Amino acid sequence: MRTNPTTSRPGVSTIEEKSIGRIDQIIGPVLDVTFPPGKLPYIYNALVVKSRDTDGKQINVTCEVQQL
């Protein structure tokens, strides 16, 4: 999983280095994701989940970071 910063308006900072996390659990629309220490994405950043379906076709799902 990679985090992508939002750059939709002026004044929004960008992140040069992307963090890779691991999905631990999915409950309904909620993903529990673990990141390395010090590599947490900021609130409202996009998380892009990249995978493949059973036919091998690329799947990209964009999620939003929210706090508990």
pTM for the model stands at: 0.63
Cβ 15 vs Cβ 5: under 8 Å: yes
**Each residue of 3-46: pLDDT tens digit?**
555 555 555 555 446 788 999 999 999 999 999 998 888 888 89
Q: CA 63 to CA 10: how far, in whole Å?
A: 22
The secondary structure of residue 41, as a DSSP letter, is P
The secondary structure of residue 43, as a DSSP letter, is T
Cα angle for residues 24, 46, 26 (degrees, 5° grid): 25
- Give the pLDDT score at 22: 93
